[in-house]
Amino acid sequence: MSVLSTSSIRAAVDQCIEACLKCARACEECTTNCLKELDIQTRIKCIQTLQDCAQVCLQAASLAARNSTFAQQYCQLCAAICEACAEECAAFKDTYCQECAQICRECAKACRNIAS
């Protein structure tokens, strides 16, 4: 088992915070775009998941930034919600949905890095 240095832990936390903020923004932007689509009724679950993802990402970034004792557990939850959001977005072929799905996957990976 390898021991991570303080600087590598800090780098992982910084990467997680940045990924969470980027993901929250992407989810908000995707929500706005989805609300403009004609097939909005087919996007309701996706929109709800986008809103959940944006909120959990903002909270995860906040907890990680202040080194909360709950940051690891919360980041594990954030990763799960990001993955669910990526799946929802991937179902739609719009460029913004596909980009959001990719950003959600990247965020999930960054969150898992500090959750483990």
The reported pLDDT for the residue numbered 26 is 98
State the Cα–Cα distance between residues 109 and 60, nearest whole angstrom: 13
Buried b (16+ CB within 10 A) or exposed e, 91-101: ebeeebbeebb
The structure tokens 């986008």 sit at 50
- Using a 10 angstrom Cβ sphere, with 0-12 exposed, 13-18 middle and 19 or more buried, the burial of residue 60 is buried
**Domains in the chain: boundaries:** 25-115
0.75 cut: is pTM over it? yes
Burial 61-76 (b: 16+ CB within 10 A, else e): bebbeeeeeebeebbb
| Cβ atoms within 10 Å of 77's Cβ, excluding its own | 15
Which residues, 6 or more positions from 6, have their beta carbon under 8 angstroms from its beta carbon?
A: none
- pLDDT score for 8: 80
Q: Please provide the CATH number assigned to the domain covering 25-115.
A: 1.20.1270.360
Tokens 């997680």 map to which residue?
A: 16
pLDDT of residue 96: 97
The pLDDT tens digits of the residues spanning 61-103 come to: 999 999 999 999 999 999 999 999 999 999 999 999 999 999 9
Judged against a pLDDT cut of 90, whether residue 2 lies above it is answered with no
